[in-house]
């Protein structure tokens, strides 16, 4: 299946690093065997937004492809597109799906480097910005758990598995993570997964106690410098549409190139 969306292209590249992506010709199957509860890692990818009368068909295709694993209890549908097409939104909602929209932003590295802000300084407690060693990446799960809407064992297991995967990517040289430390405590982090001339951001996050201190910008600047050294030309980041995070990225040289939508039933 030919994929047009930059967001979906990078999502599939990430998925292939952890699990497998199977091309059925008119759709793709994404599987993450080590984490069946990963909603965005066990997915059916459609060539376009489902239209009226197609939701039941694609739901059955998902069950046929992924339902044999009893631990997969959700249904996730992604579709190719760049303009935020919701397709048969009412039919999806009636079938129990929630639609999720994404703002896809990119920065060209040559421009981004020229516009990078001054070195990070704060009048508050001293903050250290540095690259994370592989085992330190595991602490990003603690930050994510604090920020999450859920605080149950299943969600914690999902976060720990994701952080372990990120640690392994760093150890193998496929990714680099940076952190902001208040003393010895990780308070903000982000990662870049290297995808040849592209790189995709992962887990851009800051604890509420340390927001509005410029930490996200400082981490973005650190990652820009590293990406330039590696010969990366563009970096891709995904944000909730028109969110505070998207506005931060825009101030740091990112521009919106796509709007994408996917659907999930849990």
Answer yes or no: do 56 and 126 share one domain.
no
Asked if residue 55 belongs to a domain, the reply is yes
Nearest CA-CA partner of 192 in 226, 215, 148: 226
Out of 101, 129, 154, pick the residue that ends a domain.
Answer: 101
Answer yes or no: do 88 and 135 share one domain.
no
Asked if residue 264 belongs to a domain, the reply is no
Per-residue pLDDT of 12-24, as tens digits, reads: 999 999 999 999 9
Answer yes or no: do 54 and 176 share one domain.
no
The pLDDT confidence band at residue 193, using thresholds 50, 70 and 90, is very high
Answer yes or no: do 244 and 112 share one domain.
yes
Strand, helix or coil at 99? strand
d(CA 23, CA 27): 6
Answer yes or no: do 121 and 233 share one domain.
yes
Asked if residue 234 belongs to a domain, the reply is yes
Q: How does the average pLDDT of the chain come out, rounded?
A: 93
Answer yes or no: do 150 and 242 share one domain.
yes
| Residue with tokens 């101030």, as numbered in its chain | 251
Per-residue pLDDT of 161-174, as tens digits, reads: 999 999 999 999 99
CB distance 32 to 42 below 8 Å: yes
Per-residue pLDDT of 53-107, as tens digits, reads: 999 999 999 999 999 999 999 999 999 999 999 999 999 999 999 999 999 999 9
Answer yes or no: do 80 and 160 share one domain.
no
Answer yes or no: do 179 and 47 share one domain.
no
Asked if residue 160 belongs to a domain, the reply is yes
Tell me what pLDDT residue 262 has: 98
Asked if residue 263 belongs to a domain, the reply is no
More confident residue, 184 or 116: 184
The pLDDT confidence band at residue 121, using thresholds 50, 70 and 90, is low
Asked if residue 218 belongs to a domain, the reply is yes
Answer yes or no: do 76 and 134 share one domain.
no
Question: What CA–CA distances, in Å, run from 252 to 60, 70, 159, 203, 218?
Answer: 43, 44, 28, 17, 10
Domain of 123 in residue numbering reads as 106-258
Answer yes or no: do 45 and 160 share one domain.
no
Average pLDDT of 143-163?
94
Nearest CA-CA partner of 44 in 33, 9, 60: 60
Question: What CA–CA distances, in Å, run from 18 to 4, 13, 194, 206, 213?
Answer: 22, 9, 14, 25, 34
Exposed / middle / buried, residue 128 (Cβ in 10 Å: 0-12, 13-18, 19+): exposed
d(CA 133, CA 76): 33
Percent of the chain past pLDDT 70, that is, above it, reads 94
d(CA 122, CA 95): 50
d(CA 195, CA 240): 23
């Amino acid at each position: 299946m030919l994929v047009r969306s930059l967001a979906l292209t990078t999502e599939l590249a990430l998925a292939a690093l952890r699990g497998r992506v199977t091309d059925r010709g008119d759709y793709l199957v994404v599987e993450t065997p080590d984490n069946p509860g990963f909603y965005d890692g066990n997915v059916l990818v459609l060539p376009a937004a489902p239209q009226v009368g197609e939701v039941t068909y694609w739901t059955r295709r998902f069950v046929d492809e992924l339902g044999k694993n009893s631990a997969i209890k959700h249904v996730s549908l992604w579709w190719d597109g760049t303009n935020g097409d919701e397709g048969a939104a009412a039919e999806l909602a009636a079938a129990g799906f929630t639609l999720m929209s994404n703002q896809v932003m990119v920065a060209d590295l040559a421009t981004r480097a020229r516009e990078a802000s001054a070195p990070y300084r704060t009048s508050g407690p001293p903050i250290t910005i540095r690259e994370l060693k592989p085992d330190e990446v595991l602490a990003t799960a603690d930050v994510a758990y604090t920020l999450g809407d859920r605080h149950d064992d299943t969600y914690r297991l999902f976060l720990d598995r994701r952080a372990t995967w990120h640690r392994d990517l760093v150890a193998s040289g496929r990714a680099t993570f940076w952190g902001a430390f208040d003393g010895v405590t990780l308070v903000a982090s982000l990662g870049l997964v290297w995808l040849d001339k592209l790189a995709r951001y992962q887990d851009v996050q800051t604890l509420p106690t340390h927001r509005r201190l410029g930490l996200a910008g400082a981490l973005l600047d650190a990652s820009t410098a590293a990406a330039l050294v590696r010969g990366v030309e563009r970096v891709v980041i995904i944000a909730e549409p028109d969110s505070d995070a998207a506005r931060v990225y825009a101030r740091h040289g990112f521009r919106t190139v796509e709007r994408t939508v996917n659907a999930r039933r849990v």
